[in-house]
Structure 1
Amino acid sequence: MSTTLSPQQSATSAPPSRGVARALPGLALGAAMSAAALGLNHWVPSLSPLLVAIVVGATLANTGRVGARLEPGLAVASRRLLRIGVALLGLQLALGDVLALGWGVIAVVVAVVVLGITGGVVVGRLLGLSRSQTLLIAGGFSICGAAAAAAVDGVIESEDDELVTSVALVVLFGTAMIPLLPLVAGWVGLAPVQAGMWAGASIHEVAQVVAASGVIGTGALAVGVVVKLGRVLMLAPVLALVSLGERRRASRSGAGTAVDGSAADGTVDGSAGKGRGGRPPLVPLFVVGFVALMALRTTGIVPSGVLSLAKWGETALLTIAMFALGTGVRVASLRRVGSRPFVLAAATTVWVSVVALGGILLAT
């Protein structure tokens, strides 16, 4: 790994006052783009603000409209704001809603995530991809798309190009599934509820599940979203296991602690965070937040108004983060990485879909 600081590391290592001032232009642009994407989603609900933000960010980056002055703020958005948004996802999940699916469907959700990641890792090794690129694609495609890929990036050592490649592939393959899955579901002869379950168990992004389930029919929408949120629920244990594996790898390689011993990346045990040269945290702080907020939602004591506000805040933060990640999607970079990540993405998409379809047919 090079010792040169990336924009993300430079933004987090600067003095607080200077860092805030440097971050403002990029954060302001991200907030403006988020507001525009949310406004468009209000008028055209089928358009996901997260996907719109990624596309807009990539378009601006590839037309030369993202200068160095914006990079510190975009780095903050793609790291810190994204992790806050992922933590707030916990408020979408009431454990009772997931349990109401029944143990058969819950088993399908667990199988999709476990077998999806395992299969992705196997194919990634056969293709000769780096461990980090493989984990980003396998985790993102098996759990909840771009947010999951970015969350995995928070607990492993990876290159910036690897994350933006994974995000771009989530957009490409997940969007392609929106019209394809309903067509295949009709050809297979699935009932609308079964097709909705399949969409929730196999499509990458929550918004993409909503779009595909909407094409299938109203009966598919609610069950599809709940199944998808069941996959989101798997984010916390998967991240904990990946982080544990990274700590063991770091221990075997003799990695030390960070130079300053700080925990600025948000850790439970004070270990240095990603990109600081030390062991990754046992449980990242944003994962603790995700679990705590899910538990709070499950109690039923959170007022509906607070849940609505939190939902809006989570979407806004993730939209800003997706715009920031989109600015890192460069056509030249995608050409440079070659075809292997695309092959892994295609193979993982097909594998997850097959596991999900087989499980749904058995469970129902």
Structure 2
Amino acid sequence: MFPFAARLPGLLFALALGLAGLGLAAVPALAGLQLSALTLAIALGMLVGNLAGVRLPERMAPGIAFAQRNLLRAGIVLYGLRISFQQIAAIGPGALILDVIVVASTLALGLWIGRRWLGLDRDTALLTACGSAICGAAAVLATERLLKPEASKVAIAVAGVVLFGTLNIFLYPQLASWLALSPDVYGIYTGATVHEVAQVVAAGNAVGPAAADTAVIVKLTRVLLLVPFLFLLGGWQARSGASAGRITIPWFALAFVGVCALNSVVELPPALRSVLLDVDTLLLATAMGALGLETRFSRLRALGPKPLLLAFALFVWLTVGGYWLTRLVIGDW
């Protein structure tokens, strides 16, 4: 069977969830609650995944995985059409400084809590820490190429960052209201502290386009920090005598920068730009639906408490500590 034919059932199912999210987002009552299509798509995916996950046909798995990885990255690349270098320059150097501090502090804290307090092995602690610090499951999988740990350790780390990153989608818009954050500050805070790129897009869109644009810019800067982290980790592995695997570079983030550059110098026809942005929203909603399908509570219970405790501790640090770091570094309130 050709790869596309193998992926088609799962892709169509994820697409249905994405379209349902878009449809529900247009319902006035839900629009008033600031529930975006992306938030609703992942909620629907979680509902279906937990109610019928074990009964989903196996033939859907390739398409769901394709939506989670490839459609998400395509959606993020297209998201560059919403952002220009002029907007990036307007955010200022404070956001980059904040990203570096958040990544470094979360990595250090994750290793300290994981090894000293919880007694986890180095690989489990490092995988969970890098997923929380940089870009969620993508960082876990990129780091796995270097560490080459047991598959169960990768699953534990991915489950933790997906679970608590998903909670952020629902929590952060409420924090924006409770803390009276402006869209720009909320976007910086969200981009610097939420786990996954897709989760940042969803949490940002729940507040508004301006917050989402800022959040994605800050988040993609944070994603790019995966490159120096992997090179440093590879050097550490070499010095410690461990064999280093192939370093994975987040090419989708670099492609996002390329589309931003194009958007900065070329003005697309309004009709074409509108169509491309609609396609982008659908791609992201489909990816969120697929991600929700794989967020199953039965799997999380089987992983044991300590790795999830570490993921929870880092979730609290990013939410609370990240707020105060944003106040300290940005200072525009």
Q: Deviations over 1:290-318 (max 9, x none)?
A: 22112222324344444433332232222
Match of 2:201 among 201, 206, 209: 206
The 8 Å contact of residues 53 and 319 in structure 1, kept in 2 or not, is answered as: yes
Letter in 1 for 2:48: L
Q: Deviations over 1:158-211 (max 9, x none)?
A: 63454244222211244234324533x26xxx7887667655654552332443
Q: CA deviation at 1:26?
A: 1.0
- Helix, strand or coil at the partner of 2:143: coil
The 8 Å contact of residues 66 and 327 in structure 1, kept in 2 or not, is answered as: no
The 8 Å contact of residues 10 and 62 in structure 2, kept in 1 or not, is answered as: yes
Residues 1:163 and 2:158 are matched in the alignment: yes
Q: CA deviation at 1:37?
A: 0.8
Q: Deviations over 1:112-169 (max 9, x none)?
A: 34434443454344435566665665556556xxxx3243245232634542442222
Residues 1:96 and 2:86 are matched in the alignment: yes
- Helix, strand or coil at the partner of 1:288: helix
- Helix, strand or coil at the partner of 1:279: coil
Residues 1:241 and 2:241 are matched in the alignment: no
Change (3 A) 1:254 1:329: same
Residues 1:325 and 2:309 are matched in the alignment: no
Q: CA deviation at 1:335?
A: 0.8
Letter in 1 for 2:62: P
Alignment-derived partner of residue 295 in structure 1? 261
Alignment-derived partner of residue 30 in structure 1? 14
Distance (Å, rounded) in 1 between the aligned partners of 2:262 and 2:89: 16
Letter in 2 for 1:81: L
Change (3 A) 1:137 1:173: farther
Distance (Å, rounded) in 2 between the aligned partners of 1:196 and 1:286: 21
Q: CA RMSD in A?
A: 3.5
- Helix, strand or coil at the partner of 1:156: helix
Q: Deviations over 1:295-352 (max 9, x none)?
A: 2223243444444333322322222222222222222211122333443343323333
Alignment of 1:101-250 (within 5 A): 101-126=91-116, 127-129=118-120, 138=129, 141-142=132-133, 148-157=135-144, 159-160=154-155, 162-180=157-175, 182-183=177-178, 185=179, 198=189, 201-202=192-193, 205-211=200-206, 213=207, 222=210, 224-245=211-232
TM-score, normalised via structure 2 length: 0.75
Deviating more after overlay: 96-105 vs 129-138: 129-138
Q: Deviations over 1:75-118 (max 9, x none)?
A: 22222222222332333332221321344455335433443444
Q: CA deviation at 1:34?
A: 1.0
Change (3 A) 1:93 1:125: farther
Q: Deviations over 1:249-300 (max 9, x none)?
A: 7876447xxxxxxxxxxxxxxxxxxxxxx6243x343233222112222324
Change (3 A) 1:300 1:360: farther
The 8 Å contact of residues 160 and 308 in structure 2, kept in 1 or not, is answered as: no
Match of 1:59 among 47, 66, 77: 47
The 8 Å contact of residues 54 and 323 in structure 1, kept in 2 or not, is answered as: yes
Distance (Å, rounded) in 2 between the aligned partners of 1:109 and 1:250: 24
Deviating more after overlay: 133-142 vs 313-322: 133-142
The 8 Å contact of residues 77 and 256 in structure 2, kept in 1 or not, is answered as: yes
- Helix, strand or coil at the partner of 1:84: helix
Distance (Å, rounded) in 1 between the aligned partners of 2:36 and 2:131: 17
Letter in 2 for 1:111: I
Distance (Å, rounded) in 1 between the aligned partners of 2:127 and 2:277: 25
Distance (Å, rounded) in 2 between the aligned partners of 1:286 and 1:201: 18
Change (3 A) 1:249 1:326: farther
Distance (Å, rounded) in 1 between the aligned partners of 2:221 and 2:185: 21
Match of 2:60 among 66, 70, 73: 70
Residues 1:309 and 2:304 are matched in the alignment: no
The 8 Å contact of residues 140 and 157 in structure 2, kept in 1 or not, is answered as: no
Q: What is the percent sequence identity of the aligned residues?
A: 32
- Helix, strand or coil at the partner of 2:142: coil
Give ranges in structure 2 of 5+ residues lacking alignment. Answer: 145-150
Letter in 1 for 2:253: V
The 8 Å contact of residues 53 and 320 in structure 1, kept in 2 or not, is answered as: yes
Q: What is the number of equivalent residue pairs in this alignment?
A: 309
Give ranges in structure 1 of 5+ residues lacking alignment. Answer: 1-16, 215-220, 256-277
Distance (Å, rounded) in 1 between the aligned partners of 2:21 and 2:326: 36
Distance (Å, rounded) in 2 between the aligned partners of 1:151 and 1:34: 21
Distance (Å, rounded) in 2 between the aligned partners of 1:71 and 1:350: 32
- Helix, strand or coil at the partner of 2:246: coil
Distance (Å, rounded) in 2 between the aligned partners of 1:306 and 1:125: 52
Change (3 A) 1:307 1:117: farther
